[in-house]
Amino acid sequence: MKKFARIIGTGSYLPKKVISNFDLEKTLDTTNEWITIRTGIKERRVVTDQSTCDLAIEASKKALEMASLKATDLDLIILATTTPDKIFPATATMLQHRIGASCPAFDLQAVCAGFVFALSTAQQYIENGSANNILVVGSETMSKIVDWNDRSTAILFGDGAGAVVVSSDNTTGIKHSKLYSDGSYMSSLHVNNDRINELGTIEMAGNEVYKIAVKRLSELAEETLNDCNMTSDDLTWMVPHQANIRIISAVAKRINLPMSKVILTLDKHGNTSAASIPLALDVAVRDGRIKKGDSLLFEGIGGGFSWGSVLVEY
């Protein structure tokens, strides 16, 4: 019998420190009103003394608890992150050790598209019978690579983690995934570290990124629905990467999806890169908006560029 990959648990975690737009007004040539209108972001969380692994642990524990599983039940851990704690070992192996799992674990890097790439990878392991229970995590400490004097990026990014447990099931869960990459766009959004031991900071050509993101994500959303013989009427929710309200609104408009069917958390979280989709998912699951049987579209784009979508029956 064919096995399907189904999400059976979600979890998320945010650091306690909040930086509001009003805080940024004090150090940058900007205003709360300008940031809110241009991005939809009002505040973001940042770490003080926590690591990417620390955030991942808290989100993972909550996802495992919802799934009624122990860490020892896991067959694989995939951690999507742009901000690993070390060049090596993989932050996923630190997470594996600290939660008491004994399974293989590896990091996956596709920047803001990391979670959809990781979830699609987990789907393959489940469907080919290589694993029954997989922990997929997006965890980021983006504040460590932000130049807080650069208005174009300092207003956007935040820290956080989200996690899901994906398990083998006899009923449909993940219906479809679609992934793309195009390295020719590297200079539009990248970290400017010239040597491997330099952390560097984010550099972004904002207008170019906006145009590329709207074009690629709009095309992707249409392709995904067409591949599944669906329309926006068949979607219960779109859970997008929380990058910018204008990008999200443009994609929703392209597929005729009302904004009332879009899960938004960027006003409180900012852009948490690979963590943003699982963070938004967990918020909406726990507040009751997302229910069993709902049809969900995840989509995101990250530097490189890499972009992708996953269509899920929750």
Q: Are 122 and 202 contained in the same domain?
A: no
Domain CATH number, residue 97: 3.40.47.10
Same structural domain, 125 and 218: no
| 267 and 240 co-located in one domain | yes
Percent residues over pLDDT 70 in the chain: 100
Identify whether residues 151 and 194 lie together within a single domain: no
Give helix 52-67 / helix 91-99 axis angle, nearest 10°.
Answer: 50
Tell me: pLDDT of 129 over 80.
Answer: yes
Distance CA 57, CA 74 (A): 14
- Active-site residue, selected from the candidate residues 53, 133, 241, 269: 241
The confidence score (pLDDT) of residue 205 equals 94
Domain boundary among 150, 169, 188: 169
Pick the catalytic residue from 21, 133, 244, 271.
Answer: 271
Residues 286 and 182 in one domain: yes
pLDDT in the model for residue 198: 80
Q: What is the DSSP string of 206-243?
A: HHHHHHHHHHHHHHHHHHHHHHTT--GGG-SEEEE--S
pLDDT at 90 over 90: yes
pLDDT at 199: 85
262 with 119, same domain? no
Please say if 112 is a catalytic residue.
Answer: yes
Structurally, how many domains does the chain consist of?
2
269 counts as catalytic: no
Task: State the residue range of the domain holding 25.
Answer: 4-169
| Calpha distance 172→42 (Å, rounded) | 37
The yes-or-no answer on residue 103 being catalytic is no
Q: Which two tokens stand for residue 232?
A: 């926006």
- Give the active site residue among 21, 53, 112, 133: 112
Whether this model's pTM surpasses 0.95: yes
| 242, 95: one domain | no
